[in-house]
């Protein structure tokens, strides 16, 4: 209160609309007593007023700004502010023609690479057949030698021929396998490129990462976008939370998982009660935000708490709320 007014009232310098006597002294004294009593009553009422809440705060929600993951022209963006989206719902896409063509080219390249792969079994079939014949000839020569019907030279010639064939087979297998290994590596590289292109194509799709309501739309169909450029903001309006603040002397009264009563302030005397649960308590004190009231207005340092609340459709972001812990 203005101290000049108080002093004038106390000294009787202001007229008070109460007649208490005919004398000047009596009038001023009566005015002073009655007005002074009224002011004391007002101070007592203000100082004795008790809050009907333990903490206050603002309703918030999980908000996600969806940004473009591709560069190009926005071909479609089918949403408006206020639309309700489901998790994974596609709402548009960025031009992806060039990526589709690139994928087709890579797939054709993969087919070409596959055609260069050698059929090892067919390539060495003739050599294996020669080795099999040489094995039979060697066995026949050994039998003849055992019966003194053949010579050692015949056996040596057959074994020499067999050794040459085996080395020839080994060389063929090495060459063919090495060639196929190069083809395999080339094919793996092309396969990786195809997967990269498919990932880029997937990122051309514009989808909602959560189930929620569109709060803001930042882009329109036909605009050219780039990676990281915001497209729209979506918030989970079914599961909101009240960010409230408590003083240090109240920390002993709150704990994680605690059920509390939350009141939404709709203005005037219109308040609605909701069930809430404390899901987070800050471990670090902060100065009281200017827009927040605490039970003890003298508290400078407070602790933030999050209280989960099921939204019935009436709670709005930024709305003022109160909470009682007991």
Separation of alpha carbons 181 and 200, rounded Å: 29
In this prediction, residue 265 has a pLDDT band, given cuts at 50, 70 and 90, of confident
Q: Residue 10 pLDDT more than 50?
A: no
Q: Residue 13 pLDDT more than 90?
A: no
Separation of alpha carbons 312 and 301, rounded Å: 33
Q: Residue 222 pLDDT more than 80?
A: yes
In this prediction, residue 321 has a pLDDT band, given cuts at 50, 70 and 90, of very high
Phi, psi of 120 (to 5 degrees): -60, -45
Q: Residue 2 pLDDT more than 50?
A: no
Centre a 10 Å sphere on the Cβ of residue 47 and count the other Cβ atoms it contains.
7
Q: Which H or E run includes 236?
A: none
The answer to whether residues 23 and 288 touch, using CB atoms and an 8 Å cutoff, is no
Q: Residue 22 pLDDT more than 60?
A: no
b (16+ CB within 10 A) / e for 283-322: eebeebeeebbbeeeebeebbbbbbebebeeebeeebbbb
Give 156-185 pLDDT, tens digit per residue. Answer: 888 888 899 999 999 989 888 888 888 999
Q: Residue 37 pLDDT more than 60?
A: no
Q: What does the pLDDT read at residue 123?
A: 86
In this prediction, residue 11 has a pLDDT band, given cuts at 50, 70 and 90, of very low
Q: What does the pLDDT read at residue 295?
A: 56
């Amino acid at each position: 209160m203005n101290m000049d007014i108080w002093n004038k009232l106390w000294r009787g310098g202001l007229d008070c609309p109460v007649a208490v006597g005919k004398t000047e002294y009596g009038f001023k004294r009566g005015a002073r007593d009655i007005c002074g009593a009224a002011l004391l009553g007002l101070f007592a009422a203000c100082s004795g007023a008790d809050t009907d809440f333990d903490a206050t705060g603002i309703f918030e929600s999980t908000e996600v700004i969806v940004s473009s993951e591709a560069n190009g022209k926005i071909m479609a963006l089918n949403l408006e502010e206020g639309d309700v989206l489901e998790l994974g719902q596609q709402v548009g896409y960025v031009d992806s023609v060039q990526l589709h063509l690139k994928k087709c080219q890579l797939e054709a390249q993969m087919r070409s690479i596959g055609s260069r792969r050698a059929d090892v079994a067919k390539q060495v079939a003739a050599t294996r057949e020669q080795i099999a014949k040489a094995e039979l000839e060697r066995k026949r020569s050994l039998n003849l030698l055992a019966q003194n019907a053949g010579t050692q030279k015949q056996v040596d010639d057959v074994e020499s021929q067999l050794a040459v064939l085996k080395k020839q087979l080994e060389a063929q297998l090495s060459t063919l396998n090495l060639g196929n290994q190069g083809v395999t590596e080339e094919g793996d590289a092309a396969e990786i490129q195809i997967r990269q292109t498919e990932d880029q194509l997937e990122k051309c799709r514009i989808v909602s990462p959560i189930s929620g309501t569109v709060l803001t739309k930042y882009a329109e169909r036909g605009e050219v976008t780039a990676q990281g450029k915001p497209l729209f903001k979506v918030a989970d309006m079914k599961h909101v939370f009240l960010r409230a603040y408590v003083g240090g002397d109240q920390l002993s009264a709150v704990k994680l998982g605690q059920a509390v009563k939350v009141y939404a302030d709709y203005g005037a005397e219109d308040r609605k009660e909701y069930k809430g649960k404390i899901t987070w308590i800050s471990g670090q004190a902060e100065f009281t935000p200017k827009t927040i009231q605490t039970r003890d207005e003298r508290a400078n340092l407070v602790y933030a708490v999050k209280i989960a609340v099921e939204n019935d459709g009436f709670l709005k972001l930024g709305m003022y709320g109160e909470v009682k812990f007991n």
